[in-house]
Chains A and B, each alone.
Chain A
Amino acid sequence: MTLNRRNLLKIGGAAAALPLLGSKAFAQTEPLKVGFVLVGTINDNGWNYAHNQGRLYLEEQLGDAVETVYVENVPEGPDCERVLRELAQQGCKLIFATSFGFGDSVIKVAEQFPDITFEHATGYMRADNVGTYNARFHEGRAVCGTIAGHMSQTGKAGYIGSFPIPEVVMGINSFVLAARKINPDFTITPVYISTWNDPAKEADAARAMIDQGIDIIAQHTDGPAALQVAEERGIVGGFGQGADMSAFAPQAQLTSIIDNWGPHYVKTAQAVLDGTWESKDSWPGLAEGEVQIGPYGPKVPEAVIAAAEAVKNGQIDGSFNIFTGPINDHTGAEKVAAGVTLTDAELLSMDWYVEGVIPPA
């Protein structure tokens, strides 16, 4: 629509009639209304982008059977509670809350709306109408760590984390365990920036760590800021998180971990439609295709790609598990005996670092 005087008059006239408008009644619709609550924006090219791709996949697969809405940039706190209630009151029968810090709010609101199904990503608290779901990102981290072990010149990597929760700690440990299988002196320095998405902080942390001599960077935050710094500073490289970020760092992105939430969203919505949904924890990984490894960057040599593929395929067919002992903790004391594999429950409460991690102060 072009801005000319006639249009302006028309819109202006319409705007002047605004006070006459009352609230709009929402027609009751047949399709299952599915709500998504996102901690960042769908344009972050990472975590929230991937969830939105999953939402679009859900619409595409189930067509007229579902209708979706999303709310972005929802802070982890009481604001989330209000958004969840808003979605519930608008008729959503299935709501996905896609960030760890939404947990308290989900449990509280779910109590008030027992006929609505809630699913909380990366959470640990469940109720009759609250399920949790996650993906085994740490399997992807093992692939990234293998590449890092082969390609790092300095043997030092930096890792930008949000909060030291088990999900993040697990990723750091998996990464460094894989790298040390190639280079036993490999170390990693985590930095926690207390947010999932703050490009300026992510970039500052990346610069500071590069100045301290790291040449590989990994991150457990939502966007490509750290990779852009890696590209600009010309270090060996880094890894996309959540989605393929090669558009932002064509040279520096060695590969990426792609979250493929679509199939889970379709399965869950279908279960709610069929009335077969029940509260449980869903935690698939590479084998199920919920975690995928993106294309390898131009810098990665054939031999390294082969090693990375071997680690990936070993995890898919079950012949390789990164959390099989012997594993020492960061002080060097044995934590997991040879041949023993950590259980899911042990992983989900992981609060210790493996050897090779230089713990943050």
Chain B
Amino acid sequence: MMQFRLEKRREPSRFMLYATPVAAVFLTMVIGAIIFSAIGFDGIGAVREIFLTPLTNSYKWQDLGVKAAPLIIIGVGLSIAYRANVWNIGAEGQYIMGGLAATWVALASHGSGGWWTLPAMMLAGMAGGAAYGAIPALLKTRLNVNEILTSLMLTYASVQLIYYLVRAPWKDPMGMGFPQTRRFASEALLPNIFPGTIVHAGVPIAVIVALIAWFIMSRSVFGYQMRVVGAAPHAARYGGFSENKTIWLALLVSGGLAGLAGMLEVAGPFQRMVPGFPTNYGFTAIIVAFLGRLNPLGVIFAGIVMAITFVGGEVAQTTIGLSNSATGVFQAMMLFFLLAGDILVRYRLKRVVPQTEARV
């Protein structure tokens, strides 16, 4: 009997740390092609349509940008929180609350809006997301309730809140009874930055958010605090950083950014609040944050990679008839290879010589 044991490496290789996400994507393509060929599909065609067509077809770039923007913004927030070992799983709920808060501003100012409408919606969105992130923070710091559970469960509550609001108080008077708000007035809609495309102002905002976050995380005391508390909690306490304060900051920042993404989505592509507003960006962004190595700059690339799989998944459906579930399989494989790669970067596989066969 051969046995193996994982042994912690003293110093993970910096090169491998950055090479694993790339390797994970590449392995996903190779293994995906093999698996789908083996079960009788055009495996290579599937990989080509999912991973390459979105990049080679310039029409698809605008779709990639629009799909990646919310993933990047939420992913940046999550990467900051996860760095501090604060496990905010409820970004989807914070995204929804941000969207709802922005919708409230848009509806309340309908007909009397102006240049200030969009900035006000943006502030409301961030405040809404941050406030929703504050609930798990309060429960964690006061009552020591696990933030994974509370933030996740609050997501489901926020979905019900959308249903309630669009069915009764916010229902579009002209909507034939369909539960949705009215279409926002033009002052409350994000401008398109390239005429003739669908690329809205949220796309450059996503990049700017990531750059600012990178700068803060690597150059400021705040960033240092987040990293130290996450990496070495004892040392951080010794160094005078408050753990509770870190938890608050992590949840407020990640919630606020998720709320900003919600505002940009509702004022951009959706143009009104509908029951279909929650589209799992908050959950997908968890993969994005890890794929991006919890580094805001990495998150930009990871967001684009995830967007490619979404957009490419649709291409593969229409061109080679690959089922929609295949997209999910590819995304899951990517996360699996990434996590497996991470283990091997931090640990080495060591063969354990069995002691005595006689010990039954």
A-side interface residues toward B, CB under 8 Å? 1, 3, 7-8, 11-12, 14-16, 18, 21-24, 26, 35, 41, 69-73, 75-79, 81-83, 85-87, 89-90, 100-101, 104, 124, 163-166, 169, 192, 194-195, 348-349, 351
Contacts and interface: CB of A to CB of B under 8 A. Distances in A.
Contact of A23 (B33, B52, B176): B52
B318 interface: yes
A78 B269 CA distance: 6
16 contacts: A1-B38, A1-B40, A11-B43, A12-B30, A12-B34, A24-B48, A26-B319, A69-B321, A72-B324, A73-B324, A78-B269, A82-B67, A101-B274, A163-B177, A164-B179, A351-B177
B163 interface: yes
Contact of B29 (A15, A23, A77, A87): A15
Nearest to A101: B276
B276 A75 contact: yes
Interface of B: 29-30, 33-34, 37-38, 40, 43-44, 47-48, 52-53, 56-57, 59, 63, 66-67, 163, 167, 176-179, 183, 198, 265, 269-272, 274-277, 279, 311, 314-315, 317-319, 321, 323-324
Contacts of A86: 63, 314-315, 318
A351 B171 CA distance: 13
B177 A164 contact: yes
B177 A194 contact: no
Contacts of B33: 11, 14-15, 18
Is chain B's interface secondary structure helix, strand, loop, or mixed overall?
helix
A303 B146 CA distance: 61
Contacts of B277: 77
B176 A77 contact: no
Contacts of B319: 24, 26, 69, 90
Contacts of A169: 177
A70 B323 CA distance: 10
Contacts of B67: 82
Contact of B167 (A8, A82, A164): A164
**The 9 A-B residue pairs with the shortest CB-CB distance in the complex, in nearest-first order:** A78-B269, A23-B56, A15-B33, A73-B324, A76-B276, A15-B30, A77-B276, A69-B318, A351-B177
B311 A82 contact: yes
B178 A163 contact: yes
A23 B53 contact: yes
A169 B177 CA distance: 9
Nearest to B275: A194
Contacts of B276: 75-77, 101
A15 to B, nearest CB: 4
A159 to B, nearest CB: 16
Q: Output the residue of A82, A85, A104 with the most chain B CB within 10 A.
A: A82
Contacts of B279: 75, 77, 79
A78 B178 contact: no
B317 A72 contact: yes
Nearest to A38: B324
Given A69-B317, A82-B67, A83-B314, 16 more contacts: A3-B38, A14-B33, A15-B29, A15-B34, A15-B44, A18-B47, A24-B48, A86-B314, A86-B318, A90-B318, A104-B271, A104-B272, A163-B177, A163-B179, A164-B177, A166-B176
Nearest to A78: B269
Given A11-B37, A14-B33, A41-B324, A22 B52 contact: yes
B274 A77 contact: yes
Nearest to B268: A78
B30 A78 contact: no
Given A11-B34, A24-B48, A77 B317 contact: no
Q: Output the residue of A78, A101, A165 with the most chain B CB within 10 A.
A: A78
Contacts of A195: 275
A41 B321 CA distance: 13
A69 B314 CA distance: 11
Contacts of A21: 44, 48, 52
Nearest to B51: A18
B59 A89 contact: yes
A16 B27 CA distance: 10
B334 to A, nearest CB: 15
A14 B63 CA distance: 29
Q: Output the residue of A18, A24, A83, A351 with the most chain B CB within 10 A.
A: A18
A24 B40 CA distance: 21
Contacts of B271: 104
A7 B34 CA distance: 10
B14 to A, nearest CB: 25
Contacts of A7: 38
B52 A15 contact: no
Contacts of A192: 167
A87 B318 contact: yes
A85 to B, nearest CB: 8
A83 B47 CA distance: 19
A100 B177 CA distance: 12
B312 to A, nearest CB: 11
B44 A14 contact: yes
B176 A165 contact: yes
A18 B29 contact: yes
Contacts of A83: 314
Contacts of A72: 317, 323-324
Contacts of A73: 324
B323 to A, nearest CB: 8
A165 B175 CA distance: 9
B43 A15 contact: yes
B200 to A, nearest CB: 10
B176 A349 contact: yes
Nearest to A14: B44
A338 to B, nearest CB: 27
Given A12-B30, A21-B44, A69-B318, A78 B56 contact: no
B52 A165 contact: no
Contacts of B63: 82, 85-86
B56 A194 contact: no
Contacts of A194: 163, 179, 275
A14 B324 CA distance: 24
Given A23-B53, A76-B274, A163-B275, A124 B179 contact: no
Contact of B66 (A78, A163, A164): A78
B356 to A, nearest CB: 36
A35 B318 contact: yes
B48 A18 contact: yes
B317 A71 contact: yes
